[in-house]
């Protein structure tokens, strides 16, 4: 079992119980997680090829051009796992630019669909390198809105170290589990704001034998997942 | 009406607002973009789901403002020329959520001043667009929503797989993107395509619902084979990933001298290698 495989399963868990909603994802590991969830415990999930085709168990089952994606966003029948260049304790996310918006030190993607996603349907985040540069007090440009700004629901944050959620009275970020081999102190040190840490922090569950086989033999035989978490 | 690339681009004046169809690095009217770049127009406002169209025109100094939800080369997430121009403060930006951009085109296509949408609420899109207003539902729910203003354009350029000489056009790939809305939202509309065919032949090439444009939506049609290069134009061709990498990693002056100083025929010869 590798760290990347733990992360794939932790991402898959984000969609548990979602039913027939569209699983959106950015990044190799969330993409594998969505397909793994569909193959195992979230059979009803809708998954795309990253363009306009819906796939079920690797076979074409439908058509979903961008304009239909926006209808699904507005309808709320979607749960996307996005990336985050910055993320704060209420789940405000930035993928737009770093530094002052007027003249950024580093221009990134712009806001993409983050504002619409976060006010319409559940959103989770995938952070392949958990660090204080990502987990900041204040994000430079609120692309995805957090719980203090009217988010519909920020469900999970999965990183290379841990799984985080917002199960606190003010819906700020909480450490939910640490991956096998990671300490709570490591996560605290890698987080640039005060995190709610329960007295007992469980370990992230390990992939089952079946899940491991699906990841290794069917979904990612080339091991692309290992390059995303190092 | 058949037009040349030069005729189409000749309608663009300095300072105009130009719409460019496609999405990211997918089915962009790149031959038109190259012609626009050669024409040396200045102070353009570009409305685009941004890709290398934005990067090329920004690098060439044609652009004052970009209206967009993102600028990306898809397989290369960040557009180098757009990034450089933003960090240098060389270009203005109207940054919207992707769905807001869609709604703005839809409003313009329907001749509405705005359309209500949730996207944008609570986000810094409201901060960086101080002109954006919200609107309250007049019904019992009284929901507050963003009043997304119509996005109108002087000229729109789109690229499709096939068209007839009158402007009936068809996409053969998996996604229409928003090309029909760009045409409906602009005063003048130019359609480039891989191949101009007879109306009869156009009808034979697919089901009616993939006929994206009709004659009323297009003012000029031009045949530009390989005209979306280096973006994808499936099923005619995929993205030229190798060339896109070269574009993203080569200094602008070198790239321009190598590929963009001649006309479209020269470009197509140079990229065939």
Q: Is A26 on the interface with B (CB under 8 A)?
A: no
Residues of chain A with C-beta less than 8 angstroms from the C-beta of B102: 66-67, 70
| Alpha-carbon distance B101 to nearest alpha carbon in chain A (angstroms) | 10
What residues of chain A lie within 8 A of the CB of B93, using their CB? Answer: 110
The model carries a pTM of 0.97
Residues of chain B positioned with their CB less than 8 A from the CB of A103: 86-87, 89
Q: What is the 3-state secondary structure (H, E, C) of chain B?
A: CECCHHHHHHCCCCCCEEEECCECCECCCHHHHHHHHHHCCCCEEEEECECHHHHHHHHCCCEEEEEECCECCCCCCCCHHHHHHHHCCCCEEEECCHHHHHHHHHHHHCCCCEEEECCCCCCCHHHHCCCCEEEECCCCCCCEEEEEECCCEEEEEEEEEEECCCCCEECCCCCCCCHHHHHHHEEEEEEEEEEECCHHHHHHCCCHHHEEECHHHCCEEEECCCCCCCCEECCCECCCHHHHHHHHHCCHHHHHHHHCCCCHHHHHHHHHC
ipTM > 0.85?
yes
User: Residue A73: pLDDT above 80?
Assistant: yes
Quick check: B97 and A149 CB within 8 A?
Answer: no
Domain covering B5-96+152-267 assigned CATH 3.40.1080.10 in the classification: yes
Above 90 in pLDDT, residue A1?
Answer: no
Q: Which of A65, A118, A119 sits opposite B176 (nearest CB)?
A: A65
Cross-chain Cβ contact B117/A116 below 8 Å: yes
Asked if A126 contacts A30 with a C-beta cutoff of 8 angstroms, the reply is: yes
CB contacts < 8 A (A, B): 121
What gap in Å lies between CA B231 and CA B70, rounded to an integer? Answer: 16
Distance (Å) from the alpha carbon of B102 to chain A's nearest alpha carbon: 8
Position B273 pLDDT exceeds 80: no
Which chain A residues are closer than 8 Å to B70 by Cβ?
109-112
Residue ranges, comma separated, of all CATH 3.40.1080.10 domains in chain B are 5-96+152-267
pLDDT tens for A134-179 read 999 999 999 999 999 999 999 999 999 999 999 999 999 999 999 9
Q: What is the DSSP letter of A203?
A: B
Give per-residue pLDDT as tens, B104-147. Answer: 999 999 999 999 999 999 999 999 999 999 999 999 999 999 99
Residue A58 confidence (pLDDT) above 90: no
Check CB contact under 8 Å for A111 and B97: yes
**Partner B contacted by A107 (CB < 8 A):** yes
Contact call for A103 and B122, based on CB within 8 A: no
pLDDT over threshold 90, residue A193: yes
Contact B89 A102 (CB under 8 A): yes
**Out of A96, A103, A119, whose CB is closest to B122?**
A119
Give strand ranges (E) for B31-152: 44-48, 63-68, 92-95, 114-117, 133-136, 144-149
Instruction: Categorize the per-residue pLDDT at A220 as very low, low, confident or very high, splitting at 50, 70 and 90.
Output: very high
Domains of chain A, CATH where assigned: 3-224 (3.40.1080.10)
Average the pLDDT over A190-211 and give the result: 98
**A84 at interface of B, judged by CB pairs closer than 8 A:** no
């Amino acid at each position: 079992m590798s760290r990347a495989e733990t992360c794939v399963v932790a991402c898959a868990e984000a969609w548990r119980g979602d039913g027939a909603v569209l699983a959106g994802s950015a990044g190799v590991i969330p993409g594998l997680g969505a397909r793994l969830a569909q193959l195992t415990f979230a059979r009803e999930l809708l998954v795309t090829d990253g363009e306009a085709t819906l796939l079920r168990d690797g076979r074409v089952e439908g058509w979903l051009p961008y304009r239909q994606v926006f209808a699904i966003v507005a309808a709320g029948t979607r749960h996307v796992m996005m990336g985050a260049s910055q993320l704060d304790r209420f789940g405000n996310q930035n993928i737009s630019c770093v530094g002052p918006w007027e003249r950024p030190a580093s221009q990134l993607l712009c806001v993409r669909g983050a504002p619409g996603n976060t006010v319409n349907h559940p959103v989770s985040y995938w952070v392949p390198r958990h660090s204080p540069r990502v987990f900041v007090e204040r994000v430079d440009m609120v692309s995805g809105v957090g719980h203090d700004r009217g988010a519909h629901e920020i469900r999970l944050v999965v990183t290379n170290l841990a799984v985080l959620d917002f199960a606190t009275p003010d819906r700020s970020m909480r450490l939910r589990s640490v991956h096998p081999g990671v300490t709570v102190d490591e996560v605290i040190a890698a987080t640039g704001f005060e995190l709610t840490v329960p007295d007992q922090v469980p370990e992230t569950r390990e992939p089952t034998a079946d899940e491991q086989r699906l990841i290794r033999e069917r979904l990612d035989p080339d091991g692309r997942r290992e390059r995303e978490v190092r | 009406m058949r037009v040349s690339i030069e005729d189409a681009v000749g309608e663009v004046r300095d300072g105009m607002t130009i719409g460019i169809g496609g999405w990211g690095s997918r089915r962009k009217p790149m031959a038109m973009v190259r012609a626009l770049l050669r024409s040396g127009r200045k102070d353009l406002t570009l409305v685009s789901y941004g890709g290398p169209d934005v990067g090329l025109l920004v690098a060439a100094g044609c652009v004052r403002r970009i209206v967009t939800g993102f600028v990306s080369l898809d397989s290369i997430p960040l557009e180098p020329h757009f990034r450089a121009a933003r960090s240098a403060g060389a270009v203005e930006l109207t940054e919207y959520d992707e769905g807001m951009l869609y709604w703005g085109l839809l409003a313009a296509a329907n001749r509405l001043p705005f359309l209500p949408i949730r996207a944008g609420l609570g986000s810094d899109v409201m901060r960086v667009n101080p002109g954006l207003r919200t609107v309250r539902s007049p019904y019992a729910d009284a929901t507050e929503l963003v009043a997304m203003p119509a996005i109108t354009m002087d000229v729109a350029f789109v690229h499709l797989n096939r068209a007839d000489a009158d402007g009936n056009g068809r996409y053969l790939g998996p996604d229409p993107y928003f090309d029909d809305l760009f045409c409906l939202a602009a005063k003048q509309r130019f359609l480039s395509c891989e191949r101009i065919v007879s109306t009869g032949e156009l009808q034979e090439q697919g089901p009616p619902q993939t006929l994206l444009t009709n004659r009323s939506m297009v003012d000029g049609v031009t045949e530009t084979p390989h005209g979306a290069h280096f973006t994808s134009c499936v099923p005619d061709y995929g993205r030229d990933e190798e060339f896109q990498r070269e574009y993203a990693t080569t200094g602008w002056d070198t790239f321009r001298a190598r590929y963009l100083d001649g006309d479209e025929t020269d470009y197509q010869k140079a990229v065939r290698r």
